[in-house]
A = this chain, B = another copy of it.
Amino acid sequence: MNKIPLKGVIAYPVTPFDHHENVDIPLFKKQVERLVQSGSHAIAPLGSTGVLPYLNDSEKEALTEATIQQVAGRVPTLVGVSNLTTERTIYHAQFAEKAGATAVMIIPMSYWKLTDDEIVQHYDAVSSKISIPIMAYNNPATSGVDMSTTLLKRLLQIPNVTMIKESTGDVQRMHLLRKELGEEVAFYNGSNPLALAAFAAGAHGWCTAAPNLIPELNIALYNAVMDNNLEKARKIFYKQADLLRFIVAKGLPRSVKAGLDLLGVGGGAFRSPLKPLSDEEITELDSILSTIKGGVTV
């Protein structure tokens, strides 16, 4: 097993619904296919973008299977299996492994703020039940708990925990990760507006929903960094900065689905209480996408 099977642009699909608010698997597969064909380096269903917490168990299973079937081994898959209870997290992690996922992503969901020991035991319990790599995900805004570098160091000693996704939105945290956890730590950036700063800081990859809308620019940024061409990377980053800021400000599912509609792919409907962007916001997004399209020759 490759312990660190992910790098580059890790693309997060949305979860489309039909007009009865049921998951639309055929549209989902079409969206996944686009992500693979446009050059994404990995596919990550059931993340925040994929509204994981709004889905029931059988929907999660269907989306896991649909992803792996559609990707068909062309690139790695990273399946979100986070759950408030340890028991359900193990259940979904085992399901993902059996279905053929390359790795699983786990955030320590915390309605009640977890202690460091509780978090270690949670990851440890899951790790002992699977044999594929785990990406530990730090996003205090979502999980309610901010994992210190001391805690992350403990997590990395658990056999399958080999990767860290960092989404505090503060590039200094990435510097600290690398200083504290060693130069070779595999950390991934989950904050879109930090894409350039994170790659400059040495991130292995970028976890992002943006390839649903502007895959060429996302991948070109990564390539410029790999080519050690900072000037080009900066130029490419600023071309997409408005879009990255917009999708974060408006919420990833809402803005990515609106963008997919604008691009003619179809984003699918929402599950209540989530609703589409307003007409005004859609017009703003259209304008950002048009400006980018007009200027893209990367």
Residues of A within 8 A of B (CB): 21, 48, 51, 53-54, 84-87, 108, 111-115, 117-119, 121-122, 125, 142, 169-172, 175-176, 178-179, 183, 193-194, 196-197, 200-202, 225, 228-231, 233-234, 237-238, 241-242, 245, 251-254, 271-275
Contact = CB atoms under 8 A, between A and B. Distances in A.
20 contacts: A48-B111, A53-B84, A54-B84, A54-B111, A85-B271, A85-B273, A86-B273, A112-B252, A112-B274, A114-B273, A115-B275, A118-B274, A119-B273, A121-B273, A122-B272, A169-B170, A175-B245, A178-B238, A202-B234, A228-B231
Given A113-B251, A197-B200, 9 more contacts: A87-B272, A108-B273, A125-B273, A175-B193, A179-B241, A183-B238, A196-B197, A196-B200, A200-B234
A184 to B, nearest CB: 13
A121 B272 contact: yes
Contacts of A241: 175, 179
A119 B273 CA distance: 7
Helix, strand, loop or mixed for chain A's interface?
A: helix
A143 to B, nearest CB: 10
Given A171-B197, A200-B230, A230-B230, A179 B272 contact: no
B179 A238 contact: yes
A118 B230 contact: no
Nearest to A252: B112
A186 to B, nearest CB: 16
A14 B178 CA distance: 31
Nearest to A122: B273
A170 B168 CA distance: 11
A238 B179 CA distance: 8
Contact of A272 (B85, B170, B175, B197): B85
A253 B272 CA distance: 30
A242 B179 CA distance: 8
Contacts of A228: 228-231
A262 to B, nearest CB: 20
